Structure 1
Amino acid sequence: MGKSLLPPGDGGDHIEPVDLKQALEERYLAYALSTIMHRALPDVRDGLKPVHRRIMHAMRLLRLNPDQGFAKCARIVGEVMGKFHPHGDQSIYDALVRLAQGFSMRYPLVDGQGNFGNIDGDNAAAMRYTEARMTDVATELLAGITEDAVDYRPTYNEEDEEPVVLPGAFPNLLANGSSGIAVGMATSIPPHNAAELCDAALCLIDGIKSRQDVSDDRLMDFVQGPDFPTGGIVIDSRASIAEAYRTGRGSFRVRSRWHQEDQGRGTWVIAVTEIPYGVQKSRLIEKIAELLIARKLPLLEDIRDESAEDIRVVLVPKSRSVDPGILMESLFKLTELESRFSLNMNVLSRGKVPNVLSLKSVLREWLDHRREVLLRRSRHRLAEIERRLEILAGYLIAYLNIDEVIRIIREEDEPKPVMMGRWDLTDTQAEAILNMRLRSLRKLEEFEIRKEFDALTEEKRQIEALLGDEQKQWNTIAWEIQTIRRDFGPEENKELGPRRTAFAEAPEHDLTDIAQAMIEKEPVTVVVSEKGWLRAMKGHLGDYTQLSFKEGDSLKLAFHAQTTDKILIFTTGGKFYTIGADRLPGGRGHGEPIRIMVDMETDQDIVTAFVHEPKRRLLLASHQGNGFLVSEDEAAANTRKGRQVMNVKTPDEARFCIPAAGDHVAIVGENRKMLVFALSEIPEMTRGKGVRLQKYKSGGVLDLKTFAMDAGLTWQDSADRTFTRTQAELAEWIGARASAGRMVPKGFPRTGKFG
């Protein structure tokens, strides 16, 4: 009979009920904590996440120092994955590759040999082809790790040990930056200039030593702002940068660096030589090319990538008359030639607590860590010295009694306890004498032993003095930081030292110029129907009779415009709406109702529409004869809601909106009475009901017109004949504003309109 597959015991199913809510909370919290602590957030002390720290540690164990040979990346990844980091090999290799990329890291920690990817976003070669070793920056991060500088913890399988944090002699967190997304929190820190960080840290040490508080603004004298490996120009104000560093949250606007190159005979191109950090060059050029094809960049003719080792993207303008500043502003607005890098200094404070820290707090925690490392290394060295001094004291006794020592070793069965009893030696001293090689006897001179003994005694005295004096500790840390500043500062290190990112105020350009620069300039004919349907036909049409409309609808007005123009629409409710001519529906079909484009009340109709001309004045009038002048700039509105300019109450409504030209106004009422008065009698307002233009017993305005008195008042009759009345002939109609006027002159059209 085969083995039973039934569970042993009573045959019960042993199901345990679990509260789902509680189980989810516990397990999700465990996952969240693991992500925050062991994956996504860097430690404030060494600026590394666990995967980077493990790569550094493994490379040290493989002895991949800057002065040694390279090793295959596959070997490094295998070491990291097998011993320390039980995750996918690709994720470890990706982290390793990034540490070697000069365009990703301001101060690379890995010196790579082979294809490690490029700024176009191409991937690195496979790990079996590439090789790596540590850089000088990495050795600074590891300096003193063998001297009990940091704590160790068991690895994931408890077969080995790994450092909890690196000694971190280099201000890595801020110098190289970091970014990561955990659960419910993220971090984003831009790279900075190491020399500036060292200067700020030294200033902080001076404050600690003199027990004076160093302000955040004082540190800003040293740390100007981010220093991206890809350069670029930060265009934020000093105040906003200072505020970001004070709170640990903010953002930086980074622009590409560009210059104009003369091509002879008045032509020119723009060469972009630096692009914002984190932007892939090939993707950027693709995006600009897409916008060119979509005709969103009318000032740009062509884009070429002439990059080799360095970046060089050439932009060709449409014509030599294009303003290069406006062209670049339109590109900055639409493409990643300008990008925003956020600052969120969310780090593991003291390696344990996720916290958003200010620039000052980050530097202070790094300095506190450096002091802790200094004290631990000093105590470790002190213990080493004491062990050596003990052994040297034993050697000295052995040297003075060398013949007796040799006799005891030769004759005694157990020489160690005999020697310990004879000269009062410790176990360590006796062991050291017994382990001595015979050839050492020749060298074992009293002078040499005493010299080493004295030197170590002096070093011991200095270390004990250091451990007992906080001022001396800070002086030592300051000296270490000065060494880092010298090695990685612009004076000694010409490649990594100098600042790459510059600062500038964004040039002031008229926003309307920039907006127009993004629209292809083409002639259109704007058509408005009686029922309020709008469209823009291509070209300037001469004959409007061919236009088709929906059944029951007809032409209200049509006029010529350019796609770069703004169209102003005035309604019976006294509101102005502004629509860009480029945003009007095309000529196919009947267009769209205005109510889809703007928030216009259903009981209102369009009075008129026209091309916006800045600085022009308009004369508005209501049916009941109230009116005023308004500047066209005041009437333009950028929102869908429009701008209320003329206040009218039902049954009154806005009826007229005409350009105010000339110096006089002629107004005709429905009672066929005409009045002429000076335009200067009408006030200019930004909003209101206006003043009475003409007095009526009943009815309202039929038509009004502005004109220059020198040229006379003209009108057209139904047969298209033009009549003109001079000042003398108009004498009896000229009066004061708000008069009733007199019956229209002979020959005035029956319609009561000026034609």
Structure 2
Amino acid sequence: MEVGLVKRVDIDQEMQQSYLDYAMSVIVARALPDARDGLKPVQRRILYAMHDMGLGPDAGYRKSARIVGEVLGKYHPHGDVAVYEAMARLAQDFTMRYPLVDGQGNFGSIDGDPPAAMRYTEARLTRFAVDLLAQIDRNTVDFADNFDGTLREPTVLPAAIPNLLVNGANGIAVGMATNIPPHNLCEVVDALAFMLDEWERLDEIGVPDLMRFIKGPDFPTGGILLQNVEDGGLLAAYGSGKGRILIRGKVHAEDLGRGRTRLIITELPYQTNKTSLIERIAELVREGVLESISDLRDESDRQGMRIVIELKQGAEVETTIRTLYHRTPLQSTFGIILLALVDGEPRLLTLKQALRVFLEHRIVVVRRRSEYDLARARHRAHILEGLRVALKNLDEVIQLIRNAPDAEQARTRLMKRFKLSEIQAQAILDMQLRRLASLERKKIEEEYREVTAQIKALESLLASAKKIRLAVKEELLKMKEQYGDRRRTQIVTLEGETAIHQFLTADEMAPADKVWVGVMADGRVGRTAGEGLPATPALHCLRASTRAVLILANAQGQASALSVGALPVVERWQDGMPLHKASALSEGDRVVLALALEPDDPKTDRYLLTVTRNALVKKSSLEELPGPSAQKFTLVKVNPEDELLTGVVTEGQDEVLLLTAGGMAIRFSESEVRPMGLVAAGVLGMKLTEGDQVSGLVLNPQEKDILFACSDGTTGRIAGADFPLQGRYGQGVLATRVSRGAEVVGALGVQHQKEVLLHLSSQDVLVVPVSEIHRIKRGNKGTRLKLATPGKEILALTWMPAIETPTKPEGSVPSQRKSVRGKKVTEPSEILSSQETKKKKEINSSTAKGKPSSKVTARKATATSPESGKKVERPSATKGKASTKAAAQKTAPTSEKQEETEKTKITPSRSRKKDQGQPSASESSTRKKTAQAEKEQPVSSGKTATQPAEKKGKASKLQQKPLPMMDEAPETRRRRKPSDE
């Protein structure tokens, strides 16, 4: 050994090498996580030390100081502060999407409070962390010596959960850094399952395919993630490993009345300090930047976060919120850097690479675990084989052992006599005498059969890479079922700052009020300010909250998702915004499906079932539907010669009835249609004859009446139970006979609904009570409505929106109703002119004397919609010559005096405000005479035209004017006999 030897080296080279050694030590041993389990060395050592201490989720809590000492003394030769801070971070639910440590005591807060001293707090593992460590004792991972060579520690955890992506990571190394956002476990597992299913063509899968499942980061603090499509958004970040996204807190406004408003902050951006945010807002108020704020306070409690910002009277809410976003931490930028260790080296990963590294790790873990289990099973089978030999030759074995001078000789003689191995012979010598009992002998035989079956299963598993991948997938789906939860962070794809502000003011600030959403036939879309309905019906009318997501789809299967709160508020549906401006759909698109999804409604195991004209049925999970976005998406792939008809939300096990234009129908179980992706076309649900097409879809028909309408005015109701349950893709059965040249235009399932709307080719709308549409037997023809104006056809069939009407107080005038807002609504009967009343009287008289007829005719009232001037009809029943006579009287000129009388009687009903329900003396007299005339003729059922028609609904401001006139629905009177006259 040379002493005092001095070696001369170049200082530049020495410093360079020493710095690189230090840098790599920091990179590998401190700052960066492993891509396989998503943990840094200190985190892995904390979890393994707690596992060694038996601190599972069912065990008691142990002092944090005790845990830190265990980690320092055995595995991590660094400072105690660093270890405790790392452990505290693993316990913070506002930092970790799925916490790994269950802490008891103060482990810090979102206000920036530091954890209490380690001598005060206690901790144990969560169940999520246990699954990261599961099967670590079955040779699933490699172990290495600890810092002093006295113990062994794992180099990586088995990690049954993709922890790198679901919990994220951040760290600053030397010359590099990582910043991986957390994600939703359900989305990540779905992407992993997709990759396993497509493993043979994995190279063809790209990041866009994976983003069908992984929508984006899902932060534990919620908030709103804004991605800008101009810079590529999340697609660019996941495709390159680097990117930037905007995160915003959630803010909504509460109206206090008298021009006062308060803003409520309920969620913050990830890693934002709440105290710092409040201090920054207060600073801006002092500087005069936020002059509209009068008070600021923190009302957060155990129920959740609530920062209240009181605004001055008349303050601009939108301007205030924009300032908060741009001048405070309420909006922050998150830089994505997917940097992790792969094979001990730092590597910038794409989303696909990060998922693939985890899957390859899990495949290795499952293979090593299976090999370990197989070796143990073979070892046990080997011993059981020896015991079976001993039990079959029990007397000889006992005699041989008794005659042997010692155990060594006994083992040798057993091995020689029965050709046993040393292990088997030793097991026989170690066997207890109680195992010689008959029951114990049967247990040995049963155990041997079980072990043999296990060996075959493990050998089969190890011989097939496909089976190993299937085992990995099953375990991942189990983790999803156990720990999966809903997404917390809302993702919004935007284009430009204008779209950001529009989304902000319309959706984030709006309270969750219940409103009506309407889509007109010409594509205009809008919503009401409250629960009142405009008088003119819309083609699609939905009840939803302002927080709901509205899905609009055109006939080509393209759809747009937009926030209900972002729709323009209208008092008339005609004033709505054009479709191409309100959504991502194109100008001229025809909306065939309108669907409102509430944010709190469950989406798991719920589906959107769509059908096309050519009977292609497709079922997609509601979880696949995107949130509000400025871009359209494919809801269903529709062939060029086909069209999307409609869609319904299902529970996965419902029944479906398809009705065709030719009157055929088929009823089958929804379970026969497997779930598919959005871009799929679907499967055939019915065999169509040449020239036929699907015209109606009814969900769970067995519980309803099937109400249909034909283009020629034929309607009817058929019991849903009359349609037999068949297999999918059958010809079906005859539902109704359809006249030549006509076709079924729609079908609805009736349960408790009161009225339906028939949309006519003249752009009029006919209101028909359900009770007056006749029930018919399946296969029969419906009752035909003869419309007043020749040439009209029915184009569509929809429900009349129903609003709950308050109970009418005793003694109130029948024609006087109050809406929820307390505004009176004029009955349609009040705007009947005296001429119309006389005509009805003459019609009734002529019907009593006239010839009976089997046809039912419909006639419209003279009143028109106050919004558009379009006539809205309600059919009334007449017969035979009465129809001709009524038509003749309708075209006959009236005298000037008669016209003057009409004006006199109609005008007061339009201008009445407080006493709309009180009829004039002349009207009362006319109604009494009409009622007397009606008593003289026998009528089987239904109301007369002079009776006030019942209309449910809450009134908007425009409903202070008379409602559009709608006559009675058709009814079939019984044939009169000559003796009746």
- What's the TM-score, normalizing by structure 1? 0.63
* SS in structure 2 at match of 1:500: coil
Q: Look up the match of 1:139.
A: 130
Structure 2 residue corresponding to 1:453, chosen from 427, 440, 448: 448
Q: Look up the match of 2:490.
A: 502
Percent identity over the alignment? 44
1:594-625 deviations in Å (ceiling 9; x for gaps)? xxxxxxxxxxxxxxxxxxxxxxxxxxxxxxxx
Aligned residue identity for 2:411: K
Number of residues of Structure 1 aligned to a counterpart in Structure 2: 495
* SS in structure 2 at match of 1:66: coil
Q: Look up the match of 2:272.
A: 279
Distance in 2, Cα, partners of 1:456 & 1:38: 42
Aligned residue identity for 2:257: G
Which deviates further from its counterpart, 354-363 or 502-511? Answer: 502-511
CA contact (8 A) 1:207 1:213 kept: no
Are 1:312 and 2:300 an aligned pair?
Answer: no
Structure 2 residue corresponding to 1:24, chosen from 9, 15, 22: 15
Structure 1 residue corresponding to 2:433, chosen from 428, 438, 449: 438
* SS in structure 1 at match of 2:227: coil
Counterparts of 1:484-633 in structure 2, within 5 Å, are: 484-489=479-484, 497-504=485-492
* SS in structure 2 at match of 1:147: coil
CA contact (8 A) 2:228 2:494 kept: no
Distance in 2, Cα, partners of 1:83 & 1:212: 43
CA contact (8 A) 2:228 2:496 kept: no
CA contact (8 A) 1:244 1:250 kept: yes
Are 1:469 and 2:464 an aligned pair?
Answer: yes
Aligned residue identity for 1:502: Q
Q: Look up the match of 1:268.
A: 261
Aligned residue identity for 1:30: D
Q: For the structure 1 residues 13 and 399, does the alpha-carbon distance in structure 2 shift closer, same or farther, using more than 3 Å as the test?
A: closer
Q: Look up the match of 1:55.
A: 46
* SS in structure 2 at match of 1:146: coil
CA contact (8 A) 1:255 1:337 kept: yes
Q: Look up the match of 1:289.
A: 282
Counterparts of 1:103-182 in structure 2, within 5 Å, are: 103-182=94-173
CA contact (8 A) 1:209 1:474 kept: no
Are 1:331 and 2:324 an aligned pair?
Answer: yes
* SS in structure 2 at match of 1:106: coil
Could you tell me how far 1:13 is from its partner in structure 2? 5.6
Q: Look up the match of 1:248.
A: 241
Distance in 1, Cα, partners of 2:127 & 2:223: 26
Could you tell me how far 1:211 is from its partner in structure 2? 5.6
Could you tell me how far 1:322 is from its partner in structure 2? 2.2
Could you tell me how far 1:508 is from its partner in structure 2? 7.5
* SS in structure 1 at match of 2:468: helix
Could you tell me how far 1:299 is from its partner in structure 2? 2.9
Distance in 2, Cα, partners of 1:485 & 1:124: 31
Distance in 2, Cα, partners of 1:466 & 1:13: 63
Q: For the structure 1 residues 340 and 204, does the alpha-carbon distance in structure 2 shift closer, same or farther, using more than 3 Å as the test?
A: same
Distance in 2, Cα, partners of 1:303 & 1:152: 55
Q: For the structure 1 residues 507 and 219, does the alpha-carbon distance in structure 2 shift closer, same or farther, using more than 3 Å as the test?
A: closer
Counterparts of 1:203-214 in structure 2, within 5 Å, are: 203-209=194-200, 213-214=204-205
Q: For the structure 1 residues 367 and 505, does the alpha-carbon distance in structure 2 shift closer, same or farther, using more than 3 Å as the test?
A: closer
Aligned residue identity for 2:190: D
Could you tell me how far 1:509 is from its partner in structure 2? 7.0
Q: Look up the match of 1:387.
A: 379
Are 1:222 and 2:213 an aligned pair?
Answer: yes
Are 1:201 and 2:192 an aligned pair?
Answer: yes
Distance in 2, Cα, partners of 1:473 & 1:331: 52
Distance in 2, Cα, partners of 1:509 & 1:418: 90
* SS in structure 2 at match of 1:417: helix
Q: Look up the match of 1:367.
A: 359
* SS in structure 2 at match of 1:107: coil
* SS in structure 1 at match of 2:251: strand
Are 1:424 and 2:419 an aligned pair?
Answer: yes
Q: For the structure 1 residues 259 and 424, does the alpha-carbon distance in structure 2 shift closer, same or farther, using more than 3 Å as the test?
A: same
Are 1:91 and 2:82 an aligned pair?
Answer: yes
CA contact (8 A) 2:106 2:115 kept: yes
Distance in 2, Cα, partners of 1:14 & 1:450: 73
1:390-441 deviations in Å (ceiling 9; x for gaps)? 0000111111222332333333122111111111110111111112222333
Distance in 1, Cα, partners of 2:84 & 2:217: 27
Distance in 2, Cα, partners of 1:13 & 1:143: 53
Distance in 1, Cα, partners of 2:31 & 2:191: 27
Structure 2 residue corresponding to 1:35, chosen from 19, 26, 50: 26
CA contact (8 A) 1:228 1:277 kept: yes
Q: Look up the match of 2:805.
A: none
1:242-298 deviations in Å (ceiling 9; x for gaps)? 111111100110001011012232211000000111011111111221222222323
CA RMSD of aligned residues (A): 2.1
Distance in 2, Cα, partners of 1:82 & 1:403: 56
* SS in structure 2 at match of 1:474: helix
Could you tell me how far 1:507 is from its partner in structure 2? 9.8
Distance in 1, Cα, partners of 2:216 & 2:202: 27
| Bigger RCO (CA 8 Å, 6+ sep) | 1
Distance in 1, Cα, partners of 2:450 & 2:201: 33
Aligned residue identity for 1:450: E
CA contact (8 A) 2:462 2:468 kept: yes
Q: Look up the match of 2:315.
A: 322
What runs of 5+ residues in structure 2 fail to find an aligned partner? 503-981
CA contact (8 A) 1:209 1:471 kept: no
Larger Rg belongs to? 1
* SS in structure 1 at match of 2:16: helix
CA contact (8 A) 1:399 1:444 kept: no
Aligned residue identity for 1:187: T
Aligned residue identity for 1:103: F
1:439-483 deviations in Å (ceiling 9; x for gaps)? 333367443222211211111111111111111111111111111
Could you tell me how far 1:208 is from its partner in structure 2? 0.4
* SS in structure 2 at match of 1:263: strand
CA contact (8 A) 2:35 2:354 kept: yes
Are 1:80 and 2:75 an aligned pair?
Answer: no
Distance in 2, Cα, partners of 1:156 & 1:101: 29
1:129-166 deviations in Å (ceiling 9; x for gaps)? 21111111111111111110000000010000000100
- What's the TM-score, normalizing by structure 2? 0.49
Aligned residue identity for 2:430: N
1:217-253 deviations in Å (ceiling 9; x for gaps)? 0111111111000010011136411111111100110
